[in-house]
């Protein structure tokens, strides 16, 4: 297996200027000398953490099943406790790195999906709706998978997420509400949430789905009745120390549903 961590600032010869993240960890299969070369879809995984930390539970534990499903996977450790545009710039650089190094990792650069969770879902939303001005550092994904994501910076937001990414600037905060940024250029979206989420209200996913519908963006929406925030893969692997709260057999179906949805969009190993 190819497993390494890339410093995106060093890779692209960019100054850090106080950024504390910008690292991309690769999980990709080694070329098999006994078989013909394979071309694989790629997944950029963006963990949550309220823009104050990067959750391990939503990184490597998500990457492993995606790797098993045939994807080359790249987990982004973005800068935290800093405002826009730094985390978005790093996500764009991650997309640029994946596409520019597609041959090395056996990646189909026309089938790069991105998965985002909680505040990482907000960053995914910024990436998926990146404007022409923002795109100078990279490109949008070909599909976006949102897990219990912070979408709005309005009444239904997660306050720490909205305050940190906006740096306390109210005008910027309003402009970073993802549902207001969705256009016909936004990639297809798979959206899932739980009705019982007490930290990031389910309205965030409903707002994103409504915005996609209005803009004509293809989407799938799954709202599970039971389960709190931060379920990740909803398995024992990502559950809390007691093992029960995050082990949800119903909710864990989201990953198979997302992979099936992506397969219908051409995300397959060839």
The CATH number that applies at residue 146 is 3.40.50.1820
How many CB atoms sit inside 10 A of residue 94's CB?
Answer: 29
In a domain, 269, yes or no: no
Q: Comparing C-alpha atoms, which of 235, 217, 229 is closest to residue 192?
A: 229
In a domain, 46, yes or no: yes
In a domain, 208, yes or no: yes
pLDDT at 37: 86
In a domain, 270, yes or no: no
pTM over 0.85? The answer is yes
pLDDT at 217: 98
In a domain, 54, yes or no: yes
In a domain, 75, yes or no: yes
In a domain, 70, yes or no: yes
pLDDT at 239: 79
Strands (E), 133-262: 143-147, 189-194, 219-224
Q: How many domains does the chain have?
A: 1
- C-alpha–C-alpha distance, residues 26 and 38, integer Å: 17
- C-alpha–C-alpha distance, residues 189 and 145, integer Å: 6
Helix or strand (DSSP H, E) at 3: strand 2-7
pLDDT at 43: 98
Q: Are 194 and 204 in contact (CB under 8 A)?
A: no
Q: For the chain, list residues with pLDDT below 50.
A: 244
Q: Comparing C-alpha atoms, which of 154, 83, 78 is closest to residue 120?
A: 78
pLDDT at 241: 52
Domain range spanning residue 50? 2-264
Strands (E), 162-241: 189-194, 219-224
**CA distances (Å), 125 to each of 128, 181, 210, in order?**
5, 9, 14
């Amino acid at each position: 297996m190819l497993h390494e961590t890339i410093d995106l600032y060093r890779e692209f010869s960019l100054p850090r200027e106080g950024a504390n993240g910008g690292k991309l960890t690769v999980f990709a299969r080694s070329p098999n000398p006994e078989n013909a070369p394979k071309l694989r879809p790629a997944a950029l995984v963006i963990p949550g953490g309220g823009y104050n930390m990067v959750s391990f539970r939503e990184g490597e534990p998500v990457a492993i099943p995606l790797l098993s499903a045939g994807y080359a996977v790249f987990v982004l450790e973005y800068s935290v406790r800093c405002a826009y545009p730094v985390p978005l710039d790093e996500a764009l650089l991650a997309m640029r790195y994946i596409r520019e190094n597609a041959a090395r990792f056996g990646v189909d650069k026309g089938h790069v999906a991105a998965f985002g969770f909680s505040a990482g879902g907000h960053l995914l939303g910024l990436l998926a709706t990146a404007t022409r001005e923002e795109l100078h550092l990279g490109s949008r994904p070909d599909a976006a998978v949102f897990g219990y994501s912070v979408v709005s910076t309005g009444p239904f937001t997660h306050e720490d997420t909205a305050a940190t990414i906006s740096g306390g600037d109210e005008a910027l905060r309003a402009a970073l509400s993802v549902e207001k940024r969705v256009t016909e250029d936004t990639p297809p979206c798979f959206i899932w949430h739980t009705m019982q989420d007490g930290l990031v209200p389910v309205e965030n996913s409903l707002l994103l789905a409504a915005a996609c519908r209005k803009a004509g963006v293809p989407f799938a929406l799954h709202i599970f009745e039971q389960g709190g925030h931060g379920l990740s893969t909803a398995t024992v692997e990502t559950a809390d120390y007691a093992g029960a709260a995050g082990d949800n057999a119903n909710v864990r179906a989201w990953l198979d549903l997302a992979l099936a949805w992506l397969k219908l969009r051409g995300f397959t190993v060839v």
